Structure 1
Amino acid sequence: MTARSVRLVHPAPIPHDADEFEAKAAAAVARARAWLPSLDPAVFDCYLGEITREIEPTSEADPVAILATLTSITGVHLGKAPHVTAGDDRHPLLVWPLIIGHTNTGKKGASWSASKRIISSTDSGFAAANIKSGLSSGEGLAEQFAVEDEPDPDEPPRDLRLVAYENEWGGVMAKMRREGNSLSQILRAAWEGGDLSTLTVKARMAPESHVGIVAHITPDEFRAKLSDADMAGGTYNRFLPLAVGWSKALPDSAGADPGLVCSLAARLAERLDQGGRLDRLGFAEDATPLWRQLYLEFNTDAYHPKVAQFVSRALPYCKRIAGIHAALDGAAAIHTTHLQAAAGLVRYSIDSARALFVDTSTPSKLVAWIAQAGEQGRSRKEITRDFFGGNTDRTDIGGILDQLTHADKITRSNRRPEGGKGRSIEIYTAATPPHELNELTN
């Protein structure tokens, strides 16, 4: 019998010292969060932010994922009565977070578990009957709200609330791309909070709905499965993309204390009951100046082309989120603090889309490279050929240049060619002197 050589695989050494474990864990968490954009702490200056801060110390989930999940679920729980308006359009308080995190270090499932535990304790009946999974087709979703006859005025109104939790959104994306699948179309109608009726061979009447979606996916899978047609179709600008990552290493955590959960749930139940009785939520006097600033900030196309398509509904989202914060405070009008928290989350969503589609280090390096040319600047041709190596799509380059120009990082001008003949040359110069940009090239 021939002896076989056996190769011994030695596992990584187990840190025995508590300090050593903490150091290794901190380094691992830092690596997991390296791709995330910065987050304005103002997003937690709201009631749901207070709940998040109470429970996040015992969860490895990203606090922003817990906050966004609670925002989505409470917006559905509040029902159709409280709403905001944009011109003649009525906007229900529906928020659809797309939680984007890596498989092992995104801790997406932990954010759902922490949020659902709070909601289940707040309203166990709602959690059992109104939270479902399994989006597959437009007809299937419409069937949830289908009616056969005129409603009986003597019967209690139907419960139109539905939270669709999809922890494998990539599978839903694949189904939506099948020929004849109407899910994308029905989802666009559902975001409006309206009519999901279908005029197929088996027509369904579903005049009302109130649907929230909490979707999870990895960055790589989303980029791989998202086509230009998907973006142009308008389905994904109904979602709020949020980049998330492992927040802390808690190998021995048993979750939030049951007493704390019960206390938080009792207070949340009172606020949901009070907020659900509200109607249209306008702006309080103190919020009007800030809203006008946000109107100009978010009403722009100064983004990378893919980012611009993703976040084109930033304005109504800001209003919807602020409306949820106001309703949970029992306020009949949106105040400055509500808007500040909402705007912070929307900005993080925009930056998350950038992190997803754009190498976020490239713009800073480009500014530094342009600055090295001093007042002479760099031509568009030089940027395309020398900085990007001639192998980057012109549209992508244009999006980055537009983004930096609108952010006042660089300035654009036109220069006549030598000899004065021919088309003018597009020149970019840095707004900051080169010696102040050294850190950007490190």
Structure 2
Amino acid sequence: MPQPARPLRMVHPAPIPPGADEFEAKAAAAVARARAWLPTLDDAVFDCYLGHLVRQVEPTSEADPVAILASLLCFAGVHLGRDPHVRAGDDPHPLLVWPLLIGHTNTGKKGSSWSAAKRLITATDSDFVLGNITAGLTSGEGLAQRFALPDDADDEPDSDGGPRDLRLLVMEPEWGGVMAKMKREGNSLSQVLRAAWEGGDLSTLTVKARVAPESHVGIVAHITPDEFRAKLSDADMAGGTYNRFLPLAVAWSKALPDSVGADPNLVSSLAAGLGDRLDTGARLGALDLAEDARPLWRALYLEFNTDTHHPKVAQFVSRALPYCKRIAGIHAALDGEPAIRAAHLAAAAALVRYSIDSARALFVNTVTPAKLAAWIAEAGDTGRTKTEITKGFFGGNTPNADIAALLTQLTDAGMITRGSRRPPGGKGRPTEIYTARAPDLTT
């Protein structure tokens, strides 16, 4: 379905304050440094209705657009409810997406991404925000209680006499605290979360047994890379909890010291359209693949089933294939389509690929740009040669292509300077030299 055209906006030139050029240059360099650790994002992730909304609101937000998109995906999947779903083999999959937004303190702008998304969510359905969005995961029993049936009852109607509202969006801005709780002896939260991702039975057999046969839970989680790596154990990965999440590396997108957010009229207009699409999509049922999507799905089936990843990355992204179909299902439902089309799959696949690359940035490419730049800066004006960087910093164990890519990122971000030095005597090929100034390494 064609997306609505982006409205034209009149731009009136404003007086340029003193020092503006200097501020813009420094701000651009700071943003580039913050984003240097991110993998490459295919803009195809925004070729969908929610991507259109993000492109409307992100110019006035410092948040990473992919973080706003992921938050809206989680909201949409929860709000649509249990009726629209996809199938993977014999298993029905609810349209639940659990983004794990991974960004550095301050420069990750994770909170800003939720603020931008929540503003649109609130304008779309303020009652949902009040009754269906919460925080504070502590135990499996606590989550199960939210969906538990009363004693001696097969069902519990809402106050208006209709079926129970099973939709719940949990927003956790400090996921590290939840990770600590899950490690406590006897805490069943990991087990219950795995069941919740399936949209299934959260019943418990503890002393205070709870019968909770149905659920529809979405989670938006925020954490820093260092905290996640520090608190994650091999047992956590092997247990299967974290392959239910969609890891996404995020960072500061732009410096907007004077922004007051999106125009209220724009937010209201976008929210009205989103609300209509959610109402229409909620009436759909099983979303199969349209004929034009089947060739792409077969290609993605092979791509996402191929185990060529680092072991920890492979565990983290082992549910890439069902996630791709879930995300595509949300795109289709919001377009009012009873089947998933190739365009829906392509946008979903682009986000899943970015998630896989984000996991690699988290677990494999763990050399932060700031650490390398600081090491280069220690050499002062003498700088470091490419050979010194390859052997002295990386220990000779990192492919040259990966080192070259990181050096290019640092150079483009203004964190280091590439130059050359003629060999003693002036004969032979000049040596490539990298220098950095310590004051420029602030992140």
TM range (shorter): 0.7 to 0.9
**Superposition misfits of 4+ residues, deviation over 3 angstroms:** 152-155, 385-390
What secondary structure, in the 3-state scheme, does the structure 2 residue paired with 1:271 have?
A: helix
* Aligned: 1:166 with 2:172: yes
CA offset at residue 100 of structure 1? 0.4
- Cα displacement string for residues 389-439 of structure 1 (whole angstroms, at most 9, x for unaligned residues): 59x8xxxx9xx9xx9xxxxxxxxxxxxxxxxxxxxxxxxxxxxxxxxxxx9
Which residue identity lines up with residue 77 of structure 2 in the other structure? Answer: G
Which residue identity lines up with residue 67 of structure 1 in the other structure? Answer: L
CA offset at residue 155 of structure 1? 3.5
**Aligned match of 1:219:** 225
**Aligned match of 1:365:** none
Measured in 2, the distance between the counterparts of 1:313 and 1:298 equals 9
Deviates more, 1:98-107 or 1:15-24: 15-24
Measured in 2, the distance between the counterparts of 1:207 and 1:299 equals 31
Is the CA contact (8 Å cut-off) linking 2:149 and 2:156 kept in structure 1?
no
Q: Which residue, out of 132, 148, 157, partners 2:163?
A: 157
Measured in 1, the distance between the counterparts of 2:357 and 2:156 equals 48
- Cα displacement string for residues 101-137 of structure 1 (whole angstroms, at most 9, x for unaligned residues): 0111000000000001001000000011100000000
Listed as ranges, the matches of 1:25-104 within 5 Å are 25-104=27-106
Q: Which residue, out of 5, 17, 20, partners 2:19?
A: 17
CA offset at residue 360 of structure 1? 7.0
Measured in 1, the distance between the counterparts of 2:208 and 2:365 equals 47
User: Residue 180 and residue 252 in structure 1: after superposition, are their counterparts in 2 closer, same or farther (change >3 A)?
Assistant: same
**Aligned match of 2:318:** 312
Which residue identity lines up with residue 43 of structure 1 in the other structure? Answer: V
CA offset at residue 388 of structure 1? 7.4
Q: Which residue, out of 248, 254, 272, partners 2:260?
A: 254
TM-score by length of 1: 0.79
**Aligned match of 2:107:** 105
**Aligned match of 1:349:** 355
**Aligned match of 1:279:** 285
User: Residue 292 and residue 257 in structure 1: after superposition, are their counterparts in 2 closer, same or farther (change >3 A)?
Assistant: same
**Aligned match of 2:249:** 243
What secondary structure, in the 3-state scheme, does the structure 1 residue paired with 2:147 have?
A: coil
Is the CA contact (8 Å cut-off) linking 2:80 and 2:281 kept in structure 1?
yes
Which residue identity lines up with residue 228 of structure 2 in the other structure? Answer: F
What secondary structure, in the 3-state scheme, does the structure 2 residue paired with 1:144 have?
A: helix
CA offset at residue 55 of structure 1? 0.0
Measured in 2, the distance between the counterparts of 1:220 and 1:283 equals 39
Measured in 2, the distance between the counterparts of 1:338 and 1:102 equals 31
Measured in 1, the distance between the counterparts of 2:60 and 2:50 equals 17
- Cα displacement string for residues 38-90 of structure 1 (whole angstroms, at most 9, x for unaligned residues): 00000000000000000000000000000000000110000000000011101
Measured in 1, the distance between the counterparts of 2:332 and 2:199 equals 19
Measured in 2, the distance between the counterparts of 1:113 and 1:359 equals 30
Measured in 1, the distance between the counterparts of 2:162 and 2:60 equals 41
Q: Which residue, out of 189, 193, 199, partners 1:193?
A: 199
Q: Which residue, out of 262, 269, 272, partners 1:263?
A: 269
Measured in 1, the distance between the counterparts of 2:359 and 2:60 equals 28
- Cα displacement string for residues 348-398 of structure 1 (whole angstroms, at most 9, x for unaligned residues): 000000000112789xxxxxxxxxxxxxxxxxxxxxx999759x8xxxx9x
Measured in 2, the distance between the counterparts of 1:334 and 1:47 equals 14
**Aligned match of 1:423:** none
**Aligned match of 1:292:** 298
Measured in 1, the distance between the counterparts of 2:114 and 2:394 equals 41
What secondary structure, in the 3-state scheme, does the structure 2 residue paired with 1:186 have?
A: helix
Listed as ranges, the matches of 1:404-419 within 5 Å are none
**Aligned match of 2:188:** 182
Which residue identity lines up with residue 86 of structure 2 in the other structure? Answer: V
CA offset at residue 201 of structure 1? 1.2
Structure 2: 5+ residue stretches without partners? 1-16, 369-390, 403-431, 436-443
TM-score by length of 2: 0.79
Is the CA contact (8 Å cut-off) linking 2:175 and 2:221 kept in structure 1?
yes
Which residue identity lines up with residue 207 of structure 1 in the other structure? Answer: P
Structure 1: 5+ residue stretches without partners? 1-14, 363-384, 404-438
Which residue identity lines up with residue 150 of structure 1 in the other structure? Answer: D
**Aligned match of 2:344:** 338
- Cα displacement string for residues 271-323 of structure 1 (whole angstroms, at most 9, x for unaligned residues): 00000000000000000000000000000211011100000000000000000
**Aligned match of 1:420:** none
CA RMSD of aligned residues (A): 2.5
**Aligned match of 1:426:** none
Measured in 2, the distance between the counterparts of 1:230 and 1:236 equals 7
Measured in 2, the distance between the counterparts of 1:288 and 1:386 equals 49
**Aligned match of 1:126:** 128
Measured in 2, the distance between the counterparts of 1:68 and 1:164 equals 14
Measured in 2, the distance between the counterparts of 1:232 and 1:213 equals 20
**Aligned match of 2:237:** 231
Which residue identity lines up with residue 271 of structure 1 in the other structure? Answer: R
- How many percent of aligned residue pairs carry the same amino acid? 77
- Cα displacement string for residues 155-208 of structure 1 (whole angstroms, at most 9, x for unaligned residues): 411000000000000000000000000000000000000000001111100000
Which residue identity lines up with residue 32 of structure 1 in the other structure? Answer: A
